Amino acid sequence: MTFPERVTLVEVGPRDGLQNEPQPVSADTRIALVDRLAAAGLPVVEAGAFVSPRWVPQMADSDAVLTGITPRPGVRYPVLVPNTKGLDKALASGAREIAVFAAASETFSKKNINASIAESLERFAPVMEQARANGVAVRGYVSCVLGCPYEGAIAPEQVAWVAERLMELGCYEVSLGDTIGVGTPLKARRLVETVGARVPVEKLAAHFHDTYGQALANLVTVLDQGIATVDTAVAGLGGCPYAPGAAGNVATEDVLYMLDGMGIATGADLHAVAAIGRWISEQLDRPIASQAGKALVARACTA
Residues annotated as catalytic are 240
Nearest to 30 by CA among 42, 15, 11, 8: 15
C-alpha distances in angstroms, 302 versus 64, 295, 298?
Answer: 39, 11, 6
State residue 58 phi and psi, 5-degree precision.
-65, -20
Residues in CB range of 22: below 8 A, 6 or more apart: none
Distance CA 268, CA 39 (A): 9
What helix, strand, coil percent values describe the chain, rounded to 5? Answer: 45, 15, 35
Exposed / middle / buried, residue 29 (Cβ in 10 Å: 0-12, 13-18, 19+): middle
Interaxial angle between packed helices 270-284 and 27-39, expressed in degrees from 0 to 180 and rounded to the nearest 10? 170
Contact between 79 and 45 (Cβ < 8 Å): no
